[in-house]
Each structure stands twice: as C-alpha cells, then as structure tokens.
Structure 1
Amino acid sequence: MTDQIGDPAVRAFVDALNAGDRTAFRAALTPGATMADDGTERDLGEWTEREIFSGDGHLTVETVQDDGRSFVASYSNSTWGAMRTRWKFTVQDGKVARFETGQA
C-alpha cells in the first residue's frame, strides 16, 4: 500500500522506516522536524531510535488520505508488538517537517 502514498516526502519517510535506514530517514526530514505521539510532544531523535530503529519498527499502511499525508497503519516493533496507528504529516520544501502518530 506504500505505493498509494502520493506525497514523495511521506513515501520516503515510510520506505526508510521500513528499511531501518537511519540515513535515509533523517534525509526525509527537515532540519528541526518535530513529532508527537498520542498527543504528547516527543524528542524526535530519542523517540525514533527507541520506537523505530532499536525496536525494528515496521509500518503496514492500511488506508491513505490526503494524498498520503495521513494514513492508518498497522505498526509493529519488538517492544510493543503490533497495533493499529494513525499518522499525519506536515511536509515543507519536499521533506517531512512534522509527524503525529498515535493509536487508531
């Protein structure tokens, strides 16, 4: 379903996340990018290392809205297992400037 994400910045974010590619993931973000998890602001570097890279995070996109800037996905990692999550992205200059995620 990743191919249904029309926004190239969001698609690059998801592809890098699923590949566990820290370099490509950082390249998909603007300098100073921000994020929130379940409505709480988080330190992007700490959160992504813990929840994505050290935890073998993986997204399986289920439904896409807003040209891919919003979607529902099954998210899994080695810490929490699998859960249904929602993701919303703000894109600026072709890169992800902010993302918000949480349980769906």
Structure 2
Amino acid sequence: MDLTTITNENVRKAIEALQANDKKTWYTYFAKEVSFTDDGRPLDFKTFFDNAFNKKEKFLAIEKVEDGGKSIYGNFDAGQWGTFRVYFKFHQNTAGEFDRLAIGQAPL
C-alpha cells in the first residue's frame, strides 16, 4: 500500500507503525495525555490501541487524505469487528506530538 499520499510526515510514520504492528513506535508519536474518541465516544487511548495491536488491526487501503495529511480515510481490518471504511483524524500540538485522535466509521 502506498502511504506517500499521507503528506504529514508524523502521521505517515505513525500509520507505518500501525501497519507494521509496531506499537512501541506508534506510541512515540503521541503526547503523554491523548484525548481519544471512537465514533464520538471517549475511550482510553492506550487500552484501545493495545487491543488493536494484539489483534493486528490495520488499514487495507488508504482512499483519501485531507487536512494537510492529518485526516485519513480508508478500508480497515478491525479484527473481531470486521472490515469497513474508517477515518483517523490526528491533532498535532505545538511540540509536534499527537494529543488528540478521533477515529470512527466513515460514510460510504
């Protein structure tokens, strides 16, 4: 899969870590405190992604990139939940870390 369409370098590297099931590297791109929502519901970021990495969840295709490379849309293998179209919307703080991530099911 071509990730060069993700123009924000840190988002691209974080997604590369997700794709490689490298949770140690994934977490290095995030601030100590991360506001996280899934379909608008606030959840614990680390608990959610520890589970996602245990299930080897990942993008199957990137369909669209917006917001300066910080909003990613595509087909996603969500393990026990199946495969569907999702969005990942990253918010980057002034230090360059991600302090907010919103994910969810994207409309078709």
CA shift, 1:87, in A, is: 1.6
Match of 2:32 in 1: 31
Match of 1:55 in 2: 55
CA shift, 1:80, in A, is: 1.4
Task: Give the TM-score normalised by the residue count of structure 2.
Answer: 0.88
Task: Give the TM-score normalised by the residue count of structure 1.
Answer: 0.91
Correspondence 1:45 to 2:46: yes
CA distance in 1, matches of 2:72, 2:27: 20
CA distance in 1, matches of 2:17, 2:98: 12
Aligned-residue CA RMSD (Å):
1.2
Q: Percent identity?
A: 26
Unaligned segments of structure 1, at least 5 residues: none
CA contact (8 A) 1:9 1:91 kept: no
CA distance in 2, matches of 1:102, 1:83: 10
Q: Provide the secondary structure at the position in 1 that maps to 2:4.
A: helix
Unaligned segments of structure 2, at least 5 residues: none
Please list every run of at least 4 consecutive aligned residues from structure 1 whose deviation after the TM superposition is greater than 3 angstroms. Answer: none
Q: Provide the secondary structure at the position in 1 that maps to 2:34.
A: strand
